[in-house]
């Protein structure tokens, strides 16, 4: 029996592969390549604009210092703002910003913790703001920079420092990923607001929801591109796996109506954690909206958590 020729199949298969590669590169450049501006916020949060800019004005007027890592290497330089507490304090919060944000975009949280008597350190992550980096790494490599920022705080404030790790969205995931590292005793607790359970899971979720694309072959191709650009595959960057090793008390906060990082990821992170843990799902809040829904309730919930663990 004569076998049918494969030639008619080769052209469409080649076209599909080439098309997938093109889409994957476009998505990688859109999602992972740094941008030197902060994109417009979601429609749900635009109603808070006036309040937000009041916090930004405060951020730029409060006495502060600019801190650096790798200051002499423009390709690795990291920049942060340190705001000393109004009265001398040993407790410091380190705040991680969200995707395509910067330290200024965390002004509302900085003001909240400042009012609670904390020193505040707000870095720009790799590929964001004034820090170096050609690519966004969604917190996986940033976690290593935060280990250095922690050491810097201890040297500045003292060995008797008490440090809280706090982050929102990508920043929340950054702190969750950091939780699995060997942290100094001065780190007392973590608050993670709307962090994803893994980079692969988040990319796959957004591929389906926003672009109506399947996981395969796009996600593996994006992962391979990132491996060549940033040195790691997406499957290795997991909040869940890091939280399994976490030994610090942690409060998870998540908006009930978050469709950018679904609330189910908060439960995945919560279940993975064996250390003391609490979870607060904020009714009717969308992505990163929990603070804005009720700033006083948000602060009170964090204070209640810290009264137990810090």
pLDDT of residue 45: 87
Do residues 202 and 131 lie in contact, with contact meaning Cβ atoms separated by under 8 Å? no
Could you give the percent of the chain with pLDDT greater than 70?
94
Do residues 192 and 251 lie in contact, with contact meaning Cβ atoms separated by under 8 Å? yes
Element counts in the chain: helices (H) and strands (E): 11, 8
Q: What is the mean pLDDT of the chain?
A: 93
Q: What ranges do the domains of the chain cover?
A: 48-198+237-309
Give per-residue pLDDT as tens, 157-210.
999 999 999 999 999 999 999 999 999 999 999 999 999 999 999 999 999 998
**Yes or no: is domain 48-198+237-309 CATH 1.10.3720.10?**
no
Alpha-carbon distances, residue 144 vs 59, 125, 137, 150 (angstroms): 26, 11, 12, 10
Give per-residue pLDDT as tens, 244-296.
999 999 999 999 999 999 999 999 999 999 999 999 999 999 999 999 999 99
Could you give the percent of the chain with pLDDT greater than 90?
85
Confidence grade of residue 6 (pLDDT, cut at 50, 70, 90): very low
């Amino acid at each position: 029996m004569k076998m049918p020729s494969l030639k008619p199949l080769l052209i469409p298969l080649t076209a599909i592969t080439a098309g997938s590669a093109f889409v994957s590169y476009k998505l990688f450049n859109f999602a992972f390549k740094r941008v030197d501006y902060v994109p417009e916020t979601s429609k749900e949060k635009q109603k808070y604009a006036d309040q937000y800019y009041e916090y930004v004005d405060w951020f730029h007027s409060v006495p502060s210092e600019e801190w650096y890592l790798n200051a002499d290497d423009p390709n690795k330089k990291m920049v942060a703002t340190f705001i000393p507490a109004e009265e001398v304090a040993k407790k410091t919060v380190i705040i991680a910003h969200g995707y395509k944000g910067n330290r200024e975009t965390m002004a509302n949280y900085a003001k909240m913790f400042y009012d609670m008597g904390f020193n505040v350190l707000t870095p720009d992550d790799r590929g964001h703001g004034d820090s170096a980096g050609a690519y966004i790494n969604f917190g996986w490599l940033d976690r290593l920079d935060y280990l250095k920022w922690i050491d810097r705080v201890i040297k500045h404030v003292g060995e008797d420092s008490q440090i809280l790790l706090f982050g929102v969205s990508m920043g929340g995931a950054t702190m969750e990923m950091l939780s699995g590292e060997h942290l100094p005793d001065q780190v007392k607790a973590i608050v993670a607001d709307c962090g994803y359970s893994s980079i692969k899971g988040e990319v796959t979720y957004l591929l389906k929801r926003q672009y109506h694309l399947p996981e395969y072959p796009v996600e593996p191709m994006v992962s391979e591109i990132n491996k060549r650009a940033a040195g790691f595959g997406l499957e290795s960057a997991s909040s869940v796996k890091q939280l399994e090793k976490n030994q610090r008390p942690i409060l998870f906060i998540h908006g009930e109506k978050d469709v950018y990082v679904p609330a189910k990821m908060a439960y995945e992170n919560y279940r993975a954690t064996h250390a003391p843990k609490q979870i607060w799902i904020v009714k009717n809040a969308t992505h990163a909206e929990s603070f804005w829904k009720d700033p006083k309730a948000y602060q009170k919930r964090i204070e209640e958590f810290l009264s137990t663990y810090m």
